[in-house]
Structure 1
Amino acid sequence: LLCGFYQPTKGKILINGIDISRAPYGELIEHISAIFQDFKIFSFKLQDNVVMDAKVDEEKIFKTLEKVQLKERLEELPKGLGTYLYKDFDEEGIELSGGQMQKLAIARALYKDPSIIILDEPTANLDALSEYEIYQNLKDISHGKTSIFISHRLASTRFTDKIIVFNEGRIHEYGSHEELITKNGLYAEMFSKQARYYSQ
């Protein structure tokens, strides 16, 4: 709905007071980047997996890949940004791990420098350390932007300003991490259960 793929059956979605259904779609997508759970990595060059454009700012791509901890992997590649992923078009194409592919998908969203970033389970394929580093970087990258994290892994909620808890399709709770823990409701219960896995 936020990306404009579907229209709400009732109510409105407003961004800065503007009904997005009335905004030109081209303008809307200029300001929004989204990373979905079922993102795709293409059998193209590395740089084309970050941005598909005739005019490419290589320095900006390098900086974006550094933000998602892919700089070291990039430096290992003899063809750099020109390295193909997979071997469909180049026998020397490389394979990325699941975590590296997820980082690349995040880089794709960040390169655009959007006003609004939507991340649907963005660290599902990452180990705990990589997840922590990504969220730390996203906190810095998101400065001055609106970032929406959709996650069942509640470790990510510690990096957010506000948390919306949905239950049965409705907003059940809203507040900061500290406020919701103090409230001792559904969020506090879920957080406590997940925290046990880390404390044991």
Structure 2
Amino acid sequence: ILADLDMTVRMERLPKGVKSLLDKSIYDDAVDMSGGEKQKIAIARALYKASSLIILDEPTAALDPLAEAEIYESFNELVKDQTAIYISHRMSSSIFCDKILLLQDGEIAAFDSHENLKKSNNLYSELFLTQAAHYQRETA
């Protein structure tokens, strides 16, 4: 799992490897890691546990766009046979999901695939296109 998340080398370089302490707010001798590295470790921990269900809440929020894209591209392989519930405000993360539950004002507004929602749901389509335009401006 660490290899899939591009964290093997980083973890091997830690003083105690995968047994290194990671939270300086609790342990004085803990290792400092970036927010993105902490998120990758949290994802690895969630995926490592043998469970039929995994819930990820904004798992890539602290990752840079390239690292985020790599995780999205390999997400189905990472979760394998687990049912994954992926909570995100980033519409780009919805592309790889089998089904999307769209909430509006605390109510279910839609439930369908990315492609179907883009075609049939104005709110979803507008949100997706607005965020996509923002990312295109950033990378241009």
Which residue of structure 2 aligns with residue 110 of structure 1?
47
Gaps of 5+ in 2: none
- Tell me if 1:80 matches 2:17: yes
| 1:108 alignment partner AA | R
Q: Deviations over 1:79-138 (max 9, x none)?
A: 322333349353xx4211111111111111111121011111111111111111122232
CA distance, structure 1, for counterparts of residue 27 and residue 82 of structure 2: 38
Q: Which runs of 5+ in 1 are unaligned?
A: 1-63
Q: How does 1:75-154 map to 2 (within 5 A)?
A: 75-85=12-22, 86=24, 88=27, 90=29, 93-154=30-91
* TM superposition score normalised by structure 2: 0.86
Report the CA distance shift for 1:83/1:102 in structure 2 as closer, same or farther (over 3 A). Answer: same
Question: What is the distance in 2 between the residues matched to 1:94 and 1:78?
Answer: 8
- Residue number in structure 2 paired with 1:185: 122
Structure with larger Rg: 1
Structure 1 residues 1-200: aligned runs within 5 Å: 64-85=1-22, 86=24, 88=27, 90=29, 93-200=30-137
Deviation of the 1:184 alpha carbon: 4.2
The one-letter amino acid paired with 1:138 is F
- For 1:68, give the aligned amino acid: L
How many residues matched?
135
Q: Distance in 2 between matches of 1:180 and 1:115?
A: 27
The TM-score, its normalising length taken from structure 1, stands at 0.62
Give distance in 2, aligned partners of 1:113 and 1:135. 21
User: Displacement of 1:77 after TM fit?
Assistant: 2.7
**In 2, distance between residues paired with 1:144 and 1:84?**
30
**Cα separation, 2, equivalents of 1:141 and 1:103:** 12
Contact residue 94 and residue 100 of structure 2 kept, 8 A = yes
Q: Which amino acid aligns with 2:13?
A: E
Amino acid at match of 1:195: A
After the TM superposition, list the runs of 4 or more consecutive aligned residues in structure 1 that deviate by more than 4 angstroms.
none
Give the RMSD, CA atoms, in angstroms. 1.8
Percent of residue pairs identical: 47
Q: Distance in 2 between matches of 1:132 and 1:168?
A: 29
